[in-house]
Amino acid sequence: MLAVGFEEDVELILEKLPSKRQSMLFSATMPGWVKKLARRYLNDPLTVDLVGDQDEKLAEGIKLYAIPTTSTSKRTILSDLITVYAKGGKTIVFTQTKRDADEVSMALTNSIASEALHGDISQHQRERTLNGFRQGKFTVLVATDVAARGLDIPNVDLIIHYELPNDPETFVHRSGRTGRAGKEGTAILMFTTSQRRTVKSLERDVGCRFEFTSPPQMQEVLESSAEQVVATLMGVQSESIQYFLPAAQRLTDELGTQALAAALAHLSGFSQPPSSHSLISHEQGWVTLQLTRESGYSRGFFSARSVTGFLSDVFPAAADEVGKIYIIADERVQGAVFDLPEEIAKELLNKPLPPGNSISKITKLCCYWEVWLLYSETLRKLPTLQDDGPTVDNYGRFSNRDRSSRGGGSWERSQRVSRNWGGRNSDSDDGFRRGGRVYRTDNSWSKSPKGSEDDWLINGRRSHHSSSHGNRERYH
């Protein structure tokens, strides 16, 4: 703040203060320039360090989670994360661009009250937005890094890094919006499969450890929603309750506990039964199935074409609607995992199958660092999912820091990646995608990841198979 014109004002204020006083300086980090500032304005100061010797380190009390996702499923997962982890408290969602902040906030508003905050918003509107957030008029603030520092927002329960930060200091400042003044908080990092190395680099640079977990399951979302509604009901004043006792008594006599359950469902936003979620893409209305074939019932190489051929013979409608197909990486098992629309999946599960073949619904996903595991009747490995977004990110553009000692480590690789993409300012929209390329305002571009929607990942290798139903490998 001093560097952008407030220095003279601060000095003027200090001149007017009594000479006998206690002055205190608070800072989330303690780089050299902060220490220099303390020597300039404070007399023989006592340093109270709640963090430690490292320049970038999170305060204790912040629980860190890293959740794998895809570029297209982030918004679907986001509302579930807020429901499960914020538990009705305040949440700040950090995006990279102003456009993302507006779009994510608008998408959330359908289910959760939220507002956007970024550099294009007028000062008057910023103050109104921040005051509304502090007072609890809405519980989710979607912001660029303009909100990462310098804002006094107490009692923030959850921070979500919707996009990875550009550097570790930004990560510290973002996450430091929660867990303040000795309180506990939660910070969640959303990342794609192509950003796993970046997450490891972030752990090393900040000196933290993430708990890698999967997106919330529908049962967790339902339970959290019900808990929040119950907490809200407990806060209703007894004087108001009196007006509704006759109707409540009548409903209880007619429906029993179902009346209360219906009220909880409606207030939770689930007047209709919740639709299923794909465990691969997290899209609503899709079900993840696993096809397994016993040894001796297949000739030739088991591939994605084998799956589409099998589905075409058993249930043609399933072959027409099947999503991406991923071959199980365990060489001891012939099988694949794929998505189908919910209604078609139900019909397929009731179809008779040829001997040696079985289809089951996957109900739980567990994510560890290097391997994805799916639980059905037995444990299965799922190959690394093909991401639908860029294979690079902006993390690694460390400014004002000497990293020469890192040699040829991951930081230098991330630097090269950032230079290849030209970097993107966290509070601007300076690039757009079209036709497999990333166009930038300076007329430079780099190609997006090779491959298309028709690329199949087979045991970790990319094989180009058409999704058409011609020339299929038969299941017999």
pLDDT tens-digit series, residues 286-333: 888 999 888 777 666 778 888 999 999 999 999 999 988 888 877 777
Instruction: Say whether 119 sits in a helix, a strand or coil.
Output: coil
Domain 286-384+457-464 in this protein, CATH class: alpha beta
CB 457 within 8 A of CB 326: yes
Residue 407 structure tokens: 């040699």
317 versus 370: the higher-pLDDT residue is: 317
Strand 62-68 with 211-212, pairing: parallel
Q: Does residue 267 surpass a pLDDT of 90? A: no
Backbone angles phi, psi at 339, to 5 degrees: -105, 145
Q: Looking at the DSSP assignment, which residues form a beta bridge with residue 374?
A: 365, 380
Superfamily, domain 62-216: P-loop containing nucleotide triphosphate hydrolases (3.40.50.300)
Q: For residue 78, which amino acid is it?
A: L
Out of 125-129, 320-324, 398-402, least confident range: 398-402
Out of 198-207, 298-307, 452-461, least confident range: 452-461
In this prediction the pTM is 0.66
Instruction: Give the up-direction half-sphere exposure of residue 61: CA atoms within 13 A in the CB hemisphere.
Output: 15
Give the angle subtended at the CA of 83 by the CAs of 81 and 87, to the nearest 5°. Answer: 115
pLDDT, tens digit (0-9, with 9 covering 90-100), for 139-194: 999 999 988 877 778 889 999 999 999 888 889 889 988 987 778 899 999 998 78
Rounded Cα gap, residues 76 and 282, in angstroms: 7
Rounded Cα gap, residues 375 and 364, in angstroms: 6
Q: Is 104 exposed, middle or buried (0-12, 13-18, 19+ CB in 10 A)?
A: buried
Burial 289-312 (b: 16+ CB within 10 A, else e): bbbbbeeeebeeebbbbbbbbbbb
Rounded Cα gap, residues 113 and 137, in angstroms: 8
Query: For the chain, give me the number of helices (H) and strands (E)?
Result: 15, 19
Q: Looking at the DSSP assignment, which residues form a beta bridge with residue 438?
A: 433, 446
CB 199 within 8 A of CB 189: yes
Rounded Cα gap, residues 250 and 266, in angstroms: 18
Q: Looking at the DSSP assignment, which residues form a beta bridge with residue 191?
A: 68
DSSP 284: B
Residue 446 structure tokens: 């780099």
- Domain map of the chain by residue range? 23-55, 62-216, 219-267, 286-384+457-464
CB 327 within 8 A of CB 383: yes
Out of 60-69, 266-275, 387-396, least confident range: 387-396
